[in-house]
Amino acid sequence: MEITTALTADVLVIGFGKGGKTAAHVLAEAGRRVVMVERSENMYGGTCPNVGCVPTKMLVHYADAKRLGDDAQEFFAHSIAGVRALTSAFRTGNFEALNGRDTATVITGTARFVDPYTVAVGEGRDLVTVTAPTILVNTGSEPVIPPIPGLASSPHLVSSTELTRTQNLPERLVVLGGGYLGLEFAGIYRHFGTEVTVLEAADRLLPREDEDIAETVREILTGDGIRVITGAKVTEVRDSGAVSTVVYEKDGRTHSVEASALLPATGRRPVTDGLRLDAAGVRTAPNGAIVVDEYLRSSQPHIYALGDVNGGEQFTYISLDDARIVLDQFLGEGKRTTTDRRAVPHTLFITPPLATVGLTESQARAQGLNIRVSREKVADIVAMPRAYTVEETRGVMKFVVDSDTDLVLGAALLSIDAQEIVNTVALAMRHHITATQLRDAIYTHPSSTEALNEVFDKVLP
């Protein structure tokens, strides 16, 4: 093995995702010598700005702006061009911001462990080794292709990454899976003009949410023209020229639907293949995730895992919080852990978005809690004129409140601006602000947050 370059660093970061780059910036600013290894020049900054949050939410914006008279294919191609321009600018900015620091170096290539403190990047004369006493692994996750006969070999199989980059609008999109990713892309492409079918194996959409919320989501999606089929077990994909035939079973009968594009949206798995974690003595779970403790330390205490690769919730803001926990080990008091997280919100970016936090009504009742439930349709909320001014009155707001303490236990907000309102609710939950205080607070007008002035009084019978 011919080594042309051998580097040493205080901290080695493998993967340019949110957690890794945040830690790298802070540590470099603190004077630590940092080396960042990223396997692809197309992924500087990680999944979110390149193929995840940013391009998909930008496509949601473009799709919602499409007018009836716009040519679907031309409008879509223009939208993808806009996405490409923005993500390219973000990649360049992420690279230059880190590599431009005196104490940081970015290396592009695939890292593999040689021993617990050293990784190799590249081959032959391009081989670089990096040795560091502290290593952060932030390699993210990748889509899982389910083992359905004919799916993996289908020429019409597409990934979410490909859908954010191709300029050809598919005529018929079949989405396998009705989770966050699947429903977001279903909404995006339907609004662009694609015929969309969602095949979900569960008996209903969003089984973790209350049934009334899930049913309202379904009504909105089907109202937009999306065909939603639940209880559908896909058994085979058959290819024939320009289309694929997706065969599925439902209620004991066999059905089929044709697709010019097939999107599996059945989950993601940690990216650890090729890292040679065995050479570092790092223990992994059956799904490949790096096993960590509450401080995000692996079985090798000097090796940390941040973001999706550690098997936790797959959200950019969780990766960011992972960075805070790790940085507290190096620069703080070393007290922050994953157990400190409370009231973590989530958002499904359909139109309008669904944002949730805390317990559902079903979960609270299953725990035997003494609760009251406040619920109101957006169209009926007098204190929320913003919904009418932007012509989006679909949806519902629902809160679960502890009857004994008046504290908010959970919320499901299916409405315009829900992704923003939920942050206020989550903050209130973390700091023990009561439902009454939220109801009586002063909010700007017209805004969506002022709906809280009214909804907390709408108690279900």
CA R_g for the chain: 24
Query: How many whole angstroms separate alpha carbon 214 and alpha carbon 271?
Result: 31
Helices (H), 284-430: 316-331, 361-366, 386-389, 418-430
State the virtual CA torsion across 204, 206, 210, 213 in degrees, nearest 10. Answer: -90
154 in Cβ contact with 261 (< 8 Å): no
DSSP 245-264: EEEEEETTEEEEEEESEEEE
Element (H, E) at 80: helix 72-99
Q: Binding site for FAD: which residues?
A: 57, 139-141, 308
Active site residues: 445
Q: Binding site for NAD(+): which residues?
A: 177-184, 200, 267
319 in Cβ contact with 306 (< 8 Å): yes
Q: What are phi and psi of 55, to 5 degrees?
A: -65, -35
Q: What is the DSSP letter of 210?
A: -
State the virtual CA torsion across 154, 160, 162, 164 in degrees, nearest 10. Answer: 150
Query: How many whole angstroms separate alpha carbon 286 and alpha carbon 283?
Result: 10
Amino acid 11 reads V
Distances (CA, A) of 306 to 71, 128, 150, 340: 43, 24, 35, 16
